[in-house]
Structure 1
Amino acid sequence: MFGPARYDPDHRQDKIDSYRPIEEKDPMPTSHNFRADQNCLPFHSTTNRGSQLSITMRMSRIILIAATASIGAVSDAFKFMSNWQPPKILTDQQKLKIAKTQERFGDKKLVVITGCSSGLGRETVKNLLASDEYHVVGAVRDIDKMEAVAEIDGFNMDNFHIMECELNSFESVHRFCDELKEYQMAKPIDRLICNAGVYQPSLDYAKWSVDGHEQTMQINFLSHFLMISEVIEGMKEAPEPRVIMVGSVTGNDNTVGGGGVYPIADLKQLDGFKAGFSNPVAMADGYGFIGAKAYKDSKLCLMMMSNFLHSKFNRSHGITFSSIYPGCIAETPLFREKRAWFRKYFPVFMKYITG
């Protein structure tokens, strides 16, 4: 029983067979051709140990593939769960707020427009209200004037709300934005139209805002930038929010109106802004004050801001930013600072030119 081992050639051959490598040409069964029959399962096999090992290895591969697929499915499930949020349970106060919002705005889009008591802004409001698709908030400096215009034009006051906003003062802009948030309740702003502007080409000296900045740049650009920064976060809740800036062809030097008429808009190296842009610094480029150039520079800033904000917030917030050239509207109060003869004959001249 414990004597010397006897040489057995058949036993040695079995060991060799059991360690024989699997041939690479032996195909691995896939999910569509795998069958639990005697050709592929070890417990039905009548082959030698080498074949059993080959089958076992193939089975291991199949199990590994299935396990990997399962892990991928679980991973996708975890990704879904990470974005999942439980349904919000509204309080009675929130339900009441939503009900009041629906009562005030219905299914209309909410539009906020600055400077709408005259000119382009006035006509814009008139057309928006005529469509019966919008609820408009007019941000104006003179409420009494706006009320008179609304009465003359027959505005539907159920869909038009007047609010005071003096762009010559940052404090007034902040106050307007706070009051606007209270007024809109749970309704996001669908459209913000930055229309208000001032043009003072005849001035040979700078006028200063309440905050100590040159008036034209603050009213046309800085205060609108402040307003956008205050309302932008809430606008992303709207379906297709848009911010429209009323630019000017005069701010673009590759046009006849902008590049062919002196002075030309040019911010240079922004030395005026770098110096703080406060009294006595009146121009963005740091040079001396020129009334017409201050207007053109402010419109150039608006257009540049539109491009920058669109590149920054269009993907993250879904807000579209754009600037428009409305063309020369000769009878607009924008020219109220011009001389009397100009205000009289310029509209006649422009009507002849433009037909």
Structure 2
Amino acid sequence: MMNTAAQDFRGKTVVITGASAGIGAAAARAFAERGASVAVVGRSPEKTAAVAAQVGGKAHLADFGSLDSVRALAADLLTTYDRIDVLANNAGAIFESHRISGDGHAMSIQVNHLAPFLLTNLLLDRLTQSPDARVINTGSLQYRKARLDLDNLNGTGVRYRKLEAYGASKIGTILFTRELAHRTRGTGLTTSAFHPGAVATEVTRENTLQRAIMKSPLGKILLLSPEQGAAPLLHLAGVADPQSVNGAYFHLLNREEPKNEQARDARLAQLLWERSAELTGLPVLPHASAGGIRDVDGPA
């Protein structure tokens, strides 16, 4: 179980995607309360600006359905901030139907995996300049029942099931976290992923029924608050010994060995990284070694 005591983030710069509402907005407020300078990233100009005003931070607009928008966001962040201490890859969505982005990728895999993969890599040099930088990735319980097909990330010719597609993208989140930990070993940067729980957020913004349930009295009873959902993010960003959680996955506040064979597959993590680099136009760098990702994990 984590110690959730408040951390001091004075002097640190925290970038939070999907920060215009839900977990991201709650995290932005909590980081600001703890002294951080917060870069508030969102799609909605009005909502993003409102949260930025609340936390005394700067608003940055991006649409993860466009990789050019992600590239523009990275350039904006690099121009604005001399240092980045925490990158919270929190933006995500469940898509009601199978849609292909202008970049040629299924929206589920692009928004939930390829876009944060690209953003992290574009910010990596700036992140590793900080002595204790963290990349924290928001996952989902849906990964447990999904399967990631590396040869068919777009789901071509397969019946579309929204939760399976979302879950597959969140297998990508766990594998990305593990492989990032491996590839940045020795730089001082650490990374973790977490499932925030069943939280009332805009991740299901395309589903009218689910939005209604979230706003109903029943939803308020059954669902966690955004503040509760943000708790693991806050802790992982400030844990005293980040190497102890490097490459790790958390279910709520508890460390968990991923309950899906694919999410534990070091070779698949390597191949997904290389494939993601190809799809986002990044250099396909060789794997650092043939060793497994468990080498970088702390004690279970």
TM-score bracket relative to the smaller structure: 0.5 to 0.7
Say yes or no: does 1:155 pair with 2:50: no
Match for 1:213 among 102, 105, 116?
A: 105
User: How far off is 1:354 after superposition?
Assistant: 6.5
1:336 is displaced (CA, Å) by: 2.0
Cα separation, 2, equivalents of 1:293 and 1:208:
16
Q: What CA distance in whole angstroms lies between the structure 2 residues aligned with 1:352 and 1:115?
A: 24
Inter-partner Cα distance in structure 1 for 2:58 and 2:223: 34
Alignment equivalent of 1:250, drawn from 129, 135, 142? 142
Cα deviations by residue, 1:197-218 (Å, 9 ceiling, x for unpaired):
0112x43xx1121212111110
* Larger relative contact order (Cα-Cα within 8 Å, sequence gap ≥ 6): 2
Do 1:199 and 1:216's aligned partners in 2 also have CA atoms closer than 8 Å? yes
Q: Describe the SS at the equivalent of 2:184.
A: helix
Unpaired runs of at least 5, structure 2: 1-8, 225-300
2:211 corresponds to 1:343: yes
Q: How many residues align?
A: 215
Instruction: Note the C-alpha offset of 1:339.
Output: 3.4
Give how far 1:144 is off.
2.4
The aligned runs of 1:32-43 (5 Å cut-off) are none
Per-residue CA deviation, residues 103-157 of structure 1 (Å, 9 max, x unaligned), is xxx961011111101000010001111112x111112222222123445xx322x
Deviations 1:242-262 (A, max 9, x none): 0000001111x2xxxxxxxxx
C-alpha change, 1:345 and 1:174, in structure 2 (3 Å) is closer
The aligned amino acid for 1:283 is: G
Match of 1:24 in 2: none
In the alignment, is the contact (CA less than 8 A) between 1:240 and 1:319 conserved in 2? yes
Instruction: Please report how far the alpha carbon of residue 351 of structure 1 lies from its aligned counterpart in structure 2 after TM superposition.
Output: 4.4
Larger mean CA deviation between 118-127 and 107-116 belongs to: 107-116
Residue 189 (str. 1) matches residue 70 (str. 2): no
1:271 to 132, 139, 151: 151
CA distance in 2, matches of 1:296, 1:266: 8
- 1:45-124 correspondence runs (5 A): 108-124=11-27
Matches within 5 A, 1:129-144: 129-132=32-35, 134-144=36-46
Name the CA distance, whole Å, in 1 between partners of 2:74 and 2:207.
Answer: 32
What CA distance in whole angstroms lies between the structure 2 residues aligned with 1:283 and 1:305? 19
How many percent identity over aligned positions? 28
Deviation (angstroms), 1:303 = 0.7
Per the normalisation by structure 1, the TM-score is: 0.56
- Give unmatched runs, 5+ long, in structure 1: 1-105, 254-263, 274-281
CA contact (8 A) 2:142 2:163 kept: no
What CA distance in whole angstroms lies between the structure 1 residues aligned with 2:185 and 2:192?
11
**Pair 1:222-2:92 in alignment:** no
Cα deviation, residue 168, structure 1: 0.9
Secondary structure class of the residue paired with 1:272: coil
Aligned to 1:332: 201
2:159 aligned with 1:283, yes or no?
Answer: no
3-state secondary structure, aligned to 1:314? coil
Partner of 1:322: 192
- After TM superposition, the score normalised by the length of structure 2 is 0.66
- Please tell me whether Structure 1 or Structure 2 has the larger radius of gyration of its CA atoms: 1
**Partner AA of 1:322 in structure 2:** S
